[in-house]
Amino acid sequence: MREAFVDELESVFADLAAIAGKVRIAVSGATESLLTGDVETAESVISADVEIDQAREHVEEKAFELLSLQQPVAGDLRTIVAALRMVAELERMGDLSVHVAKIARLRVPQRAVPEQAEPTIKKMAEIAEAMSGKVAEVIATRDVEAARDLVGDDEEMDALRRETFRQLFAQEWTHSIEAAVDLALLGRYYERIADHAVSVARRVVFVVTGEAER
């Protein structure tokens, strides 16, 4: 019975890692549509989000079944509760990718990001995608040090977010109000993707060590 329970827990984490992989693809596709104005890529990101939603439901069903049938305590209970919180964070990362894709789709045939802001947004997108990939690895391996390394990436993202505000309020900004709103939202979306990635990583640390990361 115990062996079967452990196997089920492992399958939950395998599912979480797979969801994180889907999120990375969503972040990448959303960014591609944003920087190229490719409406088909934007549509594919938006439509594929249902797969992440369904995967979340599957993980939740597994977790609740383990809670109801096995009545876990101590470390096992901590692991299941953490998994439920992680899958919610991952789904939100997917939702944020959809928000990016929708901005890209809204501005077609134009591109949503003005040329002067493109390097900043591109860098934020690269970090968001990299963090999504690292989250998948951290979940799969339960590597505590790799999880803690994600915090450094998030600090760089925060600095880039501040840079978007500097650009918006600079005298050199000559673009429309719509472009300003888009840039403010995009900066927020990528920053939040990174924040959720860090939250997932911290929950992995909690599962492994039993200690909450601050």
- pLDDT tens digits along 151-171: 778 889 999 999 998 888 877
Homologous superfamily of the 2-209 domain (CATH): Phosphate transport system protein phou homolog 2; domain 2 (1.20.58.220)
Alpha-carbon distance of 191 to 211, in angstroms, equals 25
User: In the prediction, which pLDDT does 25 show?
Assistant: 97
- pLDDT tens digits along 91-119: 999 999 999 999 999 999 888 898 888 99
Alpha-carbon distance of 22 to 25, in angstroms, equals 5
Model confidence band, residue 138 (pLDDT cutoffs 50, 70, 90): very high
Alpha-carbon distance of 64 to 52, in angstroms, equals 18
Taking residues 4-22, what's their average pLDDT? 89
The CA dihedral of 90, 18, 68, 208, to the nearest 10 degrees, is -80
User: In the prediction, which pLDDT does 2 show?
Assistant: 64
Identify the top-confidence range among 79-88, 91-100, 133-142, 179-188. 91-100
Rounded to 5 degrees, φ, ψ at 72 are: -70, 155
Number of neighbours of residue 150 by Cβ within 10 angstroms: 21
Alpha-carbon distance of 39 to 55, in angstroms, equals 25
Model confidence band, residue 213 (pLDDT cutoffs 50, 70, 90): low
Taking residues 36-49, what's their average pLDDT? 96
User: In the prediction, which pLDDT does 46 show?
Assistant: 97
User: What letter represents residue 177's amino acid?
Assistant: I
- pLDDT tens digits along 61-71: 999 888 887 77
User: What letter represents residue 43's amino acid?
Assistant: E
Return the structure tokens found at 17: 């890692």
Tell me if 191 sits within 8 A of 124, measured CB to CB: yes
Is 90 exceeded by the pLDDT of residue 17?
A: yes
User: In the prediction, which pLDDT does 5 show?
Assistant: 73
User: In the prediction, which pLDDT does 76 show?
Assistant: 83
Alpha-carbon distance of 214 to 198, in angstroms, equals 11
Task: Quote the mean pLDDT of the chain.
Answer: 91
Is 70 exceeded by the pLDDT of residue 1?
A: no
Rounded to 5 degrees, φ, ψ at 190 are: -65, -40
